[in-house]
A and B are shown apart, each in its own frame.
Chain A
């Protein structure tokens, strides 16, 4: 079921205001950094999609092309996301760079869950494993594991910054998506660290709630990946993302009273309640 719900004029104006706040962050970023110093992270999901759409609006205002955009290839992607990304890339002229940790993919023979032997990795990856305290001889090739996440996402992200001398990188994070995000700033400067270049993270859509986001998609007819129509609310790797409510589009689910990142294992709220009943702590 496509996202064709009617958004009232009043609600549309509210969404437009939220977009204006985001555009202002993007404009500040363009004032602060040169175009070639900026980068965008994109996943094909709803958050980075909205961010990309907003940056594109500002670029069109300014008559400049989109900054260099990265997408991470984890080796476990949904075909629907790949097709969507391919389509938008063409329509919007996105200067897209698919970033992958080829060394890890090779060591795993591109096979999901295959064991990756640490000794088969190159020096950079081995150093990265030391940095995160990994102490094992092997790990499964899976982007959602701690090690997989680091090697296939964080390292690839840092390498993208290094390779392109990116100073400011746009991210599609929102305050309400996760407790750890509650006080994230719009601009966060990161000092140069071991294997991490100095850069600033720019988060233009922090203030959007999940509901704001879907209303904005509807009001401004922003394209999105069709998986959301099938009930996914949060998209990660193919084998670890689950449908939250089968057949109910993301925007028709109970966005305020259920967890965006649920869809696996159990309802966190119920568990919270059980813990509360224990009284202690």
Chain B
């Protein structure tokens, strides 16, 4: 019998903000939040919240891992529907008036023959064109409302997540995997930058905005801080949480406070310059149950969806690909695997209650076929607000890493539960393409 320590809730409940990525304060005082949804890929939506936390508008039709929602002057909302590789504009009564899928005679292609690939951010410029941060194409581009590429910056960028235009016409780009912020002019010259590439200075910055005082406020995501930098590159102010929390987008309000989308604690906070949280929106309820111990590690029980019972197929980061497959001729019973065909990451995972300081041995048998990236067993730990305790996936405890084709091998590793952890997430993980099969997964206190 499965013993559940903490039940999960239904997935995809409209209004439940699982992973706020972008945020902006609207002229009417409400706050617009882009919610990427839960780990299984449900519940992505754009929500508008009033100052006391009522949801006054939302849009969720078909969105997959939407990264931004921006309210336009005409009252419509511009949405980057990231995993669907499209940009849409919707009216207040939820009619789509622009859909990039229809560009290029219905192919979704832009005028240069390319297709948006994992767009993360889009703003409307003064001339009603769009400035789009096209993450997986490593570029930011200006498009007219029919998909014509008017301007593009595609030099030297590594997975940029946000580009926004300054009053001067220059553009501030968060070059996330380059660990820097760039200001470029229309001639595509870099006229200012911050970040020396080291993770101490900036680690995966997700956005940069220019403040009225001329300084630049950077959302330094994996360092769980926002940092204000002078034009000379001197840090002059920082807000950093004690807990690890990947901040995604920060916006400055008219009042001089900062709105931050916090993916770790599943909330939006508004902080003042003294470091006070002056407003907060959080209505997150975790969909995944937490089990008292690893359950169905031998994959004998099947769920209604054909996946192993009590295991979650986490497709949020899988860029639209990935599924559970079964090796049916395996004796004595079938064993599950993950099949994946693109960049990104796919997990089969389960949450298990743990006690800080205790040590667990985790292991099982694992087999891989043509894995281009890496497949492994790994474990992530979370605090009581549901934030991972790790700043980066490579810091999480894991078993052996497998690439290519490997027949069944035993894999064992030990982990000590870090302070503040309330539950562990045990994962079978694969990134890039290939197949990984697992059997006899165990996790035991030692």
Residues of A within 8 A of B (CB): 131-137, 139, 142, 144-150, 154, 178-180, 182-184, 193, 264-266, 268, 271-272, 274-281
Contacts and interface: CB of A to CB of B under 8 A. Distances in A.
A278 B402 CA distance: 16
A132 B442 contact: yes
Contact of B416 (A149, A154, A180, A265): A180
B410 A154 contact: no
Contact of A265 (B294, B298, B361, B406): B406
Interface residues of B, number: 47
Given A146-B440, A276-B393, 9 more contacts: A132-B444, A145-B363, A146-B412, A154-B446, A178-B414, A180-B415, A265-B401, A274-B374, A275-B373
A180 B414 contact: yes
A180 B394 contact: no
Given A134-B442, A276-B394, A266 B344 contact: no
B4 to A, nearest CB: 16
Given A275-B373, A278-B345, A133 B400 contact: no
A142 B410 CA distance: 9
A281 B373 contact: no
Contacts of B332: 136-137
Contacts of A144: 410, 412
Given A133-B293, A279-B177, A266 B401 contact: yes
A148 B440 CA distance: 13
A275 B298 contact: no
Contacts of A281: 317, 345, 388, 392-393
A134 B406 CA distance: 24
A264 B400 contact: yes
B297 interface: yes
Interface string B220-235: 0000000000000000
B222 to A, nearest CB: 9
15 contacts: A132-B442, A133-B293, A144-B410, A179-B397, A180-B414, A180-B416, A184-B416, A268-B401, A271-B403, A275-B431, A276-B393, A277-B177, A279-B159, A279-B204, A280-B345
Contacts of B444: 131-133, 150
B397 A146 contact: no
Contacts of A193: 445
B60 interface: no
Contact of B298 (A136, A178, A271, A274): A136
Given A146-B363, A146-B440, A180 B397 contact: yes
B364 interface: yes
A146 B361 contact: yes
Nearest to B391: A281
B443 A133 contact: yes
B111 interface: no
B402 A265 contact: yes
B412 A183 contact: no
Contacts of A142: 410
B176 interface: yes
A56 B374 CA distance: 45
B317 A280 contact: yes
B14 interface: no
A136 B414 CA distance: 22
Contacts of A272: 394, 401
A131 B361 CA distance: 13
